[in-house]
């Protein structure tokens, strides 16, 4: 189970904001990439093409960080720290379509690539707003 978050942070995460996911790869090298995400009942849903290199490192138990930026004010952001809680094949493309609709209003355009969904369990967080720490954090 993820760490409970304050309602104002959850409200922020429920909006389709720009986000960057980070993880440690081969030899501990840090990697980051822009990503779509969604708040999913206390966890964070992400989805990736099954052939991407990050698939090798984003498996169950892998430590991850997601930084979500306010689309209107990048100085307002929340960083979530945790691990990959579970993964599954997105055979019907339901999860990537959910994310695509959230960000673009349309289904995902690539209907042939195999997709993997992953859920991030949140263990800690930090937020920044109005030139200081998120008030409820």
CATH of the domain at 23: 2.30.110.10
Token look-up 């349309």 returns: 106
Domain housing 55: 7-128
Q: Name the domain count of the chain.
A: 1
Q: In sequence order, which residues have a C-beta less than 8 Å from that of residue 34 and are 6 or more positions away?
A: 18, 19, 20
Domain assignment present for residue 121? The answer is yes
Domain assignment present for residue 65? The answer is yes
Domain assignment present for residue 137? The answer is no
Domain assignment present for residue 136? The answer is no
Entry pTM: 0.93
Domain assignment present for residue 75? The answer is yes
Domain assignment present for residue 41? The answer is yes
- In angstroms, how far is the first alpha carbon of the chain from the final one? 19
Full pLDDT tens readout for the chain, 137 residues: 788 999 999 999 999 999 999 999 888 889 999 999 999 999 999 999 998 878 877 888 899 999 999 999 989 999 999 999 999 999 999 999 999 999 999 999 999 999 999 999 999 999 998 878 888 76
pLDDT at 60: 86
Token look-up 């009942």 returns: 41
Structure-block tokens of residue 119: 């859920």
Burial (CB < 10 A; 0-12, 13-18, 19+), residue 70, is middle
Domain assignment present for residue 134? The answer is no
pLDDT at 25: 83
pLDDT at 137: 60
CB crowding 88-123: b at 16 or more within 10 Å, else e: eebeebebbbbbbeeeeeeebeeeeeebbbbbbbbe
Helix (H, G, I), strand (E, B) or coil at 90: coil
């Amino acid at each position: 189970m993820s760490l409970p978050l304050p309602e104002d942070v959850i409200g922020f995460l429920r909006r389709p904001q720009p986000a960057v996911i980070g993880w440690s790869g081969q030899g501990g090298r840090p990697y980051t990439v822009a990503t779509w995400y969604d708040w999913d009942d206390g966890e964070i849903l992400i989805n990736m093409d099954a052939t991407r290199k990050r698939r090798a490192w984003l498996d169950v138990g892998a430590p991850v960080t997601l930084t979500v930026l306010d689309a209107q004010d990048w100085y307002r952001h929340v960083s979530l720290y945790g691990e990959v809680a579970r993964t599954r094949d997105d055979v019907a493309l339901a999860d990537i379509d959910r994310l695509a609709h959230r960000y673009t209003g349309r289904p995902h355009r690539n209907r042939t690539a195999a997709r993997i969904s992953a859920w991030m369990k949140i263990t800690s967080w930090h937020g920044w707003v109005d030139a200081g720490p998120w008030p409820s954090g």
